[in-house]
Amino acid sequence: MTPEEFLAETNVPRETFDRLLEFDRVLMDWSERHNLIARSTIKDRWERHFFDSAQLVPLLPETVKTLVDLGSGAGFPGLVLAAMLAPRGTQVTLIESTQKKCAFLREAGAAMGLENLKVVPERIESVGLGFKPDIITARALARLEKLLGYGAGIQGKNTRYFLLKGQDVEVELTEAAKSWHMEVVKHPSRTDPRAAILEIGNLARVR
């Protein structure tokens, strides 16, 4: 997938597309010195990373005001979502414990001109946000049971999760159900027929 094919597939506004091109420029600059994404995925990054992240946006409620991305790493999906949700005024918070990756996220966010972005350089287990997010996202961070444990510490009563999961999604759901009550909607991935996006609500620990 080329950037132009991404644009045709997502139909994002030109300003949003320009921001994503800036993100890509910074990503490629940093990738020459740091291993932010697997080198094997660089050539196909517009599908493997950009479009994989962007496919979340049509699933999100129109009313989303606050979104928190856990373990943001190289900015997928967090920076893509921040760019695509900026016209709605959605505030996006990226939580990342690695200082080098935080420096990258800040530099990319500044280059993209994002005013709806905050980078929090803390471990997820000990972070204090001061608000309860409408949406929590994560991609390639941890198995579902552990992810839900991270989210439970910052979620509110109406928080919903949108989690990009790979081919082990059914096994992870079975594992997580031993520890968590949850309502799950499984959306098919548009980038990998073996993968899925898990939309989770009403999360509570099994007593």
pLDDT tens per residue across span 128-185 = 899 999 999 999 889 999 999 999 999 999 999 999 999 999 999 999 999 999 999 9
Q: What is the 3-state secondary structure (H, E, C) of the chain?
A: CCHHHHHHHHCCCHHHHHHHHHHHHHHHHHHCCCCCCCHHHCCCHHHHHHHHHHCCHHHCCCCCCEEEEECCCCCCCHHHHHHHHHHHCCEEEEECCCHHHHHHHHHHHHHCCCCCEEEECCCHHHCCCCCCCCEEEEECCCCHHHHHHHHHCCCCCCCEEEEEECCCHHHHHHHHCCCEEEEEEEEECCCCCCCEEEEEEEEEECC
| Residues whose CB falls within 8 Å of the CB of residue 124, separated by 6 or more in sequence, listed in order | 70, 71, 95, 97, 150, 153, 154
pLDDT in tens, 10-30: 999 999 999 999 999 999 999
Q: Does 38 have pLDDT greater than 90?
A: no
What pLDDT sits at residue 128? Answer: 87
